[in-house]
Amino acid sequence: MAETLTMMAVHAHPDDEASSTGGVLATYAAQGIRTVVVTCTNGEFGDAQGGVKPGQDGHDEKAVAQLRLAELRESCAILGVTDLELLGYHDSGMPEWDYKDRPDAFGTSRRQKSRRGSPA
């Protein structure tokens, strides 16, 4: 059985695949190499329509996550990504934001696992 080459990119947020590894993903996909994108969060703390920031009136986390995940799927289709895996963690926001301490946030999940003795 022939070995299948795989290139995997792991990103925190939807849109990171386009802004940081899009060229590499598209290049390898075009060469027939299996490409996998793993996105850790749903991107709830991205800007809402009209540039509304998290915490401002009119910022709806669920609507932002739906939009960003739809954009992620479209981006992966354009880039030729073979597989998209969504871990589904809540966006942690920026280090200085209070949101980062939510129990369902990506950054918090790592700290919780580390405290339980799991590998960090």
| Segments of the chain with pLDDT less than 70 | 1-2, 93-120
Gyration radius (Cα) of the chain, Å: 16
What is the pTM assigned to this prediction?
0.80
| Per-residue pLDDT tens digits for 34-53 | 999 999 999 998 999 999 99
Q: Give me 110's structure tokens.
A: 């790592």
Q: What share of the chain is helix, strand, coil (3-state, %, to 5)?
A: 40, 20, 40
Query: Can you list the pairs that 105-112 forms with residues at least 24 positions away whose Cβ atoms lie under 8 Å?
Result: 106/12, 106/40, 106/41
Q: Give me 57's structure tokens.
A: 């009136």
Residues contacting 70, CB < 8 A, separation 6+: none
